[in-house]
Structure 1
Amino acid sequence: MDQVFRALADDTRRRLLDRLHEQNGQTLGELCEHIAMTRQSVTQHLALLEAANLISTVRRGREKLHYLNPVPLHEIQERWIDKFERPRLRALGDLKRRAEEAMSDQPSYVYVTYIASTPEKVWDALTDADLTAVYWGHSNVSDWRPGSRWEHVRTDGSGIADVVGTVVESDRPTRLVATWAAPADEGDPGRHSRVTFDIRPHADIVKLTVTHEDLNDEGELRGISAGWPAVLSNLKSLIETGSPLPQEPWLVPGR
């Protein structure tokens, strides 16, 4: 929190966050257009925001895209605001919802979390059918080789897959990329979205970045924006404590 408050204390850094709130997924050049200072100075400000986990970055070809990460702001809200003013200020929770139209007209979603674990354990938690069944309510089933099919199968014994796709990249334990579609849309490439899991060591912990892109519309973005934080919070709890959250977060009233 000390890093977060130091980052927010500077007007330039607050304006950079405002710019990303208005339009997420901007390059350094795009951000510099609205800040009256050198690229080097803007880069230094962005580095401080990234160190405070207020922004995350994703490489797209030669470009480095910057995304607002509202998780620390949400934690400030819960600790110092919500417990006093929850009825009137609940709308601040909407900062969890991020929509960006960076490289195309299709919306995308980026979520970053930090987990006290190893990259190998985080990888296994994302790909092991038994582990995903514990915290996700579905089993992720595949051999996880590039080009292989994967399925998101219900754990009620029905064998129904609610999501299917193809493994695009598989580099254990640092990067996994797969397409994502409803079974009815499997034969229509235009209805596929794409999920990337970047798993990076971060000192003694792990930085997990989930990027869900090429979403079909704002309605799908809203669903993804509510789903990923719940699933990844449950994953984090399972890895760090040995148990998922006591309630399935996607079933908590009001969320």
Structure 2
Amino acid sequence: MDQVFKALADETRRRLLDRLHEENGQTLGELCERIAMTRQSVTQHLSVLEAANLVSTVRRGREKLHYLNPVPLHEIQERWIDKFERPRLSALGAVKRRAEEAMTDKPTFVYVTYIRSTPEKVWDALTDADLTAAYWGHGNVSDWQQGSRWEHVRTDGSGIADVVGTVVESDRPHRLVTSWAAPEDEGQDDKYSRVTFDIQPHGGIVRLTVTHEDLPDDGALSDVSQGWPAVLSNLKSLLETGSPLPEEPWLMPNG
């Protein structure tokens, strides 16, 4: 508790927690963009937050992602604010902690690419059924409103969807979040993974970050680690040259 109160006593550290609450899983560079402070100073503040267990980190390739851990804050609430409701909050806190621990055990894949295009064109390339069919081999079909169903439909005319899910968040042209599952697993919450597309202008180009989380196991992580780079390379080629790659990259042999 002493470390938590010490961490919360500083305004900058509270602002860092606010930034992670708004968008979890940020790199040091992304956090520094919104804090008027040097990278070294922000790093020191993050170290204090990590020591208090308010922030946890996960390495994805060369990136170190920072995640808000709300459990210590909830423990403060339980002890100092809601003591008269302790039994109920304790039970809820235990459920929440078990759920969060289970989530952190699931692999996450993060991929960043830079595309010579505009955020609007990148958004359309991710959501337009004809464009996705041109570079992905499947058409992404939905009205792309929050809460709507979406389908990843084959282009062979069969109408078969190999992936289905829900549009969790839709903020054109900045951020798209969708849940993913095989059609036979639809309706089973523990079978869904989650894909986030973050589209950010970066000078005259676009930085596209794809985060695929809540993967069921390392086998699924291996599959998406090969699949996403191939799909996104084809997307990049389509937007920059007007044509996808001459060969479907996901069909090319590894190595």
Task: Give TM class, smaller chain.
Answer: 0.5 to 0.7
Taking the aligned partners of 2:41 and 2:58, their CA distance within structure 1 comes to: 12
Aligned pairs, number: 176
Tell me which structure has the larger Cα radius of gyration: 2
The aligned counterpart of 1:41 is: 40
Aligned pairs (5 A) from 1:215-226: 215-226=215-226
Specify every segment of 5 or more residues in structure 1 that has no aligned partner in the other structure, as ranges: 1-24, 29-38, 46-61, 72-100
- Structure 2 CA distance for partners of 1:228 and 1:164, relative to 1, 3 Å: same
Offset of residue 68 of structure 1: 4.0
User: What's the offset of the Cα at 1:41?
Assistant: 2.8
Tell me what 1:229 maps to.
Answer: 229
| Displacement after TM superposition at 1:187 (Å) | 1.4
Which aligned pairs between 1:1-255 and structure 2 lie closer than 5 A?
Answer: 41=40, 43=42, 67-69=59-61, 104-254=104-254
Secondary structure of 2:124's match? helix
Shift of 1:175: 0.2
Instruction: State, as a whole percentage, how many aligned pairs show the same letter.
Output: 71
TM score, norm. by length of structure 1: 0.63
CA distance in 1, matches of 2:134, 2:229: 16
TM-superposed deviation, 1:27: 8.0
The question of whether the paired residues in 2 share the 8 Å contact of 1:26 and 1:67 is answered with no
CA displacement, residues 201-247 of structure 1 (integer Å, 9 cap, x when unaligned): 00110000000000001111110101000000000000000000111
* Structure 2 residues without counterparts, runs of 5 or longer: 1-24, 29-37, 45-53, 64-100
**How far apart, CA to CA, are the structure 2 residues paired with 1:27 and 1:140?**
29
Moved over 2 A (4+): 25-28, 39-45, 62-71
Encode CA deviations 1:160-193: one digit per residue, 9 max, x unaligned: 0000000000000000000000001111010000
Aligned 8 A contact 2:103 2:214 in 1? no
Cα separation, partners in 2 of 1:42 and 1:107, compared to 1, 3 Å: farther
Counterpart residue identity of residue 134, structure 2 = V
Is contact 1:119-1:199 (8 Å) kept?
A: yes
Aligned amino acid, residue 203 of structure 2? A
Give the alignment's Cα RMSD to 1 decimal. 2.7
